[in-house]
Amino acid sequence: MSVPSLAFSATAMQRFETIVARYPHRQAALLPVLHLAQAEFGWISPEAMEYVGGLLDVPPVKVQHVASFYTMYNLKPVGRFHVQVCTNTSCWLTGGVEILEHLKAKLGVGNKGTTADGLFTLEEVECLASCGTAPAIQVNDLKDSEWPIRYHEGQTVASADALIDALRKRATEGGAA
Amino acid sequence: MSTGLKILTAHLEDPELHTLAGYERHGGYGALRKTLREGLTPEKVQEEVKAANLRGRGGAGFPAGIKWGFLPKNTDKPIYLCINADEGEPGTFKDRLIMERNPHALIEGCLIACHAIKAKVCYIYIRGELLKCIKHVERAIEEARAKGLIGKNILGSGLDCEIHVHPGAGAYICGEEMSLIESLEGKPGQPRNKPPFPASVGLFNCPTIVNNVETIAYVPWIIQNSGQAFADLGSEKNGGLKIWGVSGHVKRPGLWELPMGITARQLIEDYAGGMRGPKKMKGYIPGGSSCPPLLGTEIDIPLDFENMKKAGTMLGTGCLTVFEEGVCTVRFAQRIAHFYEHESCGQCTPCREGTGWLYRNIKKLEHGEQLDGGLDLLESICNRIMGNTICALGDAAAMPIQGFLRRFGDEWAAHLGAGRCPIQG
Ligand SMILES: Cc1cc2nc3c(=O)[nH]c(=O)nc-3n(C[C@H](O)[C@H](O)[C@H](O)COP(=O)(O)O)c2cc1C
Ligand code: SF4
Ligand code: FES
């Protein structure tokens, strides 16, 4: 077996130890540790699976089985901003589909597509538990260590359009927030 | 019929409510202190919760006190409490409010519930996307631990209790209790067959209770004020207040804490500001996408578990999705069918195949195509799913479709072979 080329930073390792201590079995820590790995490495690559499996005494094929079951783990690299538009019931009733279609056209990508500059991945998602403030958009920012996931609620086509511009500006000016 | 009393949302105007200092300023942890000071036994706490008629707020409405009573009386295995904070049923957005704005109510409830069921460890399974909830609950746990409210020998009482957050990773099915347990063990969230029920064989093969966030967050008030006092706030067999949600085509969507047994008319007209525009209300879903819809004229039925069942639907999570005239119910159902097809874990053939079959046929109908066997085809797919699956997701996919057919059958029939959607074009 090849030696994984990845490793957690010292801070991540500390966090890892805290997480593992919460459970009577190491495998139970798999979901939170995969989140940690994604935050560290940007996506869950085969090397990341091997590394996490090694840390938790779980065979990499089992890690793969788990990681592929859950939608939050990126098994392929995604754009810096993962823009997720809800089109489920309440968002559908209040304009979520129009927002999604507008963003597809604005970014020139289809569902799950990534822009050529690697900045945006657009995805249609199911209910975000923001139905009272529908339509809702979730944006993951790989470079934001404090708030890697942010919700943008009560959106319109115009506000979603402005949101994309603001994110693009953030990327060109550098920094997270 | 509302007395104006609020419990979980009583002090939301305090921006510090989510901190320990804020929570304690309003009497927080009083119920835990009372439990320890007065030496309330686990049996006594269970009795109060039973008397409260506290029905599970996760959707099924099972009485919490009775569920706790299913745990084995003598076991040498550890007992676990799992809090279901995987909020993901379309239309539902209530548990977020508790976790973001009043997380210590949940923590205090967990501590008292753990005492009642003799659990020493509690996991709060929070939907992974809800980062603010995760942060606020984690911070609440840290604050409480620093104050000696969590950990070993709580406030010198000799009781031990640990509480941990476990983040989900994007799978609606993990809200189903057996799937949640599998997911907590670090596995794909594929539900296990029942029986055995979690109360006998649950997390790490130990006796386990799974309860919703809102259910447990009401426990402190019950202990402070008595089960009877809580029961008196609601309707028959449905104790207390509940956090109601209204979303969709109303003027002011939102959440309100009001008694069990309130009506949709009161919620929509008195709280949500009525419909958003001149169009009349066509219908509503009482509590998340798995509940069959009701008509816009059926708004005077008390919203509680028994009355909703009598009306042919379910109370579910108590978050209403309201829609106006002009909305095509076939297209609406297509959204719902798409959701279940996407979320089926794929273990059972009737669910895996049936949800896809339903979705594809409803999509055809949406565009005015003819269906082999007409609408009976949809009915027969539903019947083949219902009751033939490991978990309730199969039923949850079929029931709303049957409900739409029952309430809006004429509109659905008008789509057959029409070549286009006769409602929205
Ligand atoms: C597909 C499916 C999804 C569910 N999702 C949730 C959920 O997100 N939150 C929840 O509390 N219960 C959910 N439930 C219900 C749980 O299985 C369980 O009944 C509940 O957590 C028990 O808590 P309670 O008795 O306090 O309501 C779901 C059930 C099914 C079948
Ligand atoms: S009913 Fe559906 S979701 Fe539930 S176990 Fe079977 S396939 Fe999985
Ligand atoms: S339907 Fe979009 S957040 Fe719930």
**CATH code at B318?**
3.10.20.600
Q: Does residue A94 share a domain with residue A29? A: no
Residue with tokens 């029986």: B195
Question: B418 to each of B67, B259, B266, B405, B409, how far by Cα in Å?
Answer: 50, 45, 38, 17, 15
Of B231, B208, B12, the C-alpha closest to B103 is B12
Residue B8 lies in a domain: no
Question: Mind listing the pLDDT tens digit for each residue in B294-345?
Answer: 999 999 999 999 999 999 999 999 999 999 999 999 999 999 999 999 999 9
Q: How far is the CA of A125 from the centre of ligand 1 (A)?
A: 21
Residues A64 and A86 placed together within one structural domain of the fold: no
Quick one: B148 and B30 in the same domain? yes
Same domain membership, residue B256 and residue B114: no
CATH code: domain of residue B146: 3.40.50.11540
Structure token pair of residue A18 = 């805290």
Which residues have a Cβ under 8 Å from the Cβ of B101 and sit 6 or more positions away? B9, B12, B17, B18
Q: What is the mean pLDDT of chain B?
A: 97
pLDDT at B3: 81
What is the ipTM metric for this complex?
Answer: 0.97
Q: How far apart are the first and last CA of chain B?
A: 43
Q: pLDDT tens, B378-402?
A: 999 999 999 999 999 999 999 999 9
B121 lines ligand 1 (CB under 6 A): no
Which pLDDT tens digit goes with each residue over A32-49? Answer: 999 999 999 999 999 999
Same domain, A160 and A131: yes
Same domain assignment for residues A91 and A165:
yes
User: Is A30 touching B (CB cutoff 8 A)?
Assistant: yes
The yes-or-no verdict on residue A86 having pLDDT over 80 is yes
Same structural domain, B151 and B198: yes
Report which residue type is found at B416: L
Beta carbons within 10 angstroms of residue A51's beta carbon: 23
Which residue type occupies B247? S
Does B7 fall in a domain?
no
Residue-wise pLDDT tens digits, B146-194 = 999 999 999 999 999 999 999 999 999 999 999 999 999 999 999 999 9
CA–CA separation, B191 and B178 (whole Å):
5
Strand partners, B318: none
pLDDT greater than 80 at residue A1: no
The pair phi, psi for residue A9, each rounded to 5°, is: -70, 170
Of B162, B169, B339, the CB nearest to A70: B169
Query: B164 lies in a domain?
Result: yes
Give domain status of residue A22, yes or no: yes
- Of A69, A94, A115, the one marking the end of a domain is A69
Q: What confidence tens digit (pLDDT) does each residue in B343-374 have?
A: 999 999 999 999 999 999 999 999 999 999 99
Which of B293, B324, B355 corresponds to the end of one domain? B324
Dist. CA B176 → ligand 1 center (Å): 5
Q: Please report the pLDDT score of residue A149 as a whole number.
A: 97
pLDDT in the model for residue A177: 47
CA of A129 to the centre of ligand 3 (A): 5
Distance, in angstroms, between A139 CA and closest chain B CA? Answer: 10
Tally helices (H) and strands (E) across chain A: 7, 4
Question: What per-residue confidence (pLDDT) applies to B300?
Answer: 98
pLDDT band for position A55 (cuts 50, 70, 90): very high
**Residue B168 tokens, joined:** 């989900």
**Boundaries of domain holding B153:** 20-231
In a shared domain, residues B29 and B76: yes
- Domain final position from B324, B356, B381: B324
Is A2 within the bounds of a domain?
no
Please give the tally of structural domains in chain B.
Answer: 3
Residue A122 has pLDDT above 60, yes or no: yes
Query: Could you tell me if B79 and B215 lie in one domain?
Result: yes
Please give the pLDDT value at position A110. 98
Shortest Cα distance, chain A CAs vs residue B227, angstroms: 30
Say what the pLDDT of residue B29 is: 98
Residue A163 belongs to some domain of the structure:
yes
The vertex-B120 CA angle with B115 and B121, nearest 5°, equals: 120
Q: State whether A59 and A112 are in the same domain.
A: no
Q: Give the CATH number, domain containing residue A159.
A: 3.40.30.10
The predicted pLDDT at position A3 comes to 53
Instruction: Take residue A86 and report the two structure tokens written for it.
Output: 């809800």
Establish if B298 belongs to a structural domain: yes
Contact B262, B302 (CB under 8 A): yes
Which residues constitute the domain of residue A17?
10-69
User: Looking at CA atoms only, how far is residue A130 from chain B in angstroms?
Assistant: 6
Structural contact between residues B181 and B80, judged by C-beta atoms closer than 8 angstroms: no
For the cut 70, the answer to whether the pLDDT of residue A4 exceeds it is no
Which chain A residue has its CA at the smallest distance from B190's CA? A69
Q: Given this model, what pLDDT does residue A175 score?
A: 56
What is the CATH number for B386? 1.20.1440.230
Q: Are residues B148 and B56 in the same domain?
A: yes
Could you read off the pLDDT of B70-114 as tens digits, one per residue? 999 999 999 999 999 999 999 999 999 999 999 999 999 999 999
Determine the residue of chain B that is closest to A18 in CA distance: B164
The tally of domains found in chain A comes to 2
**In degrees rounded to 5, what are phi and psi of residue B291?**
-90, 135
Q: What is the pLDDT of residue B2?
A: 72
**Is B409 within the bounds of a domain?**
yes
How far apart CA B24 and CA B30 sit, in angstroms, is: 8
Residue B223 belongs to what H/E stretch? helix B219-225
d(CA B291, CA B284): 10
Q: Quick one: B379 and B405 in the same domain?
A: yes
Same domain for B34 and B102?
Answer: yes
Same domain, B92 and B213: yes
Helix (H, G, I), strand (E, B) or coil at B105: helix
Tokens matching residue B119: 């659990």
Residue B72 CB coordination number (10 Å): 11
Q: What does the pLDDT read at residue B425?
A: 82
Residue entry with tokens 């993951």: A140
Whether A120 has a pLDDT exceeding 50, the answer reads yes
Which amino acid, residue B70?
F
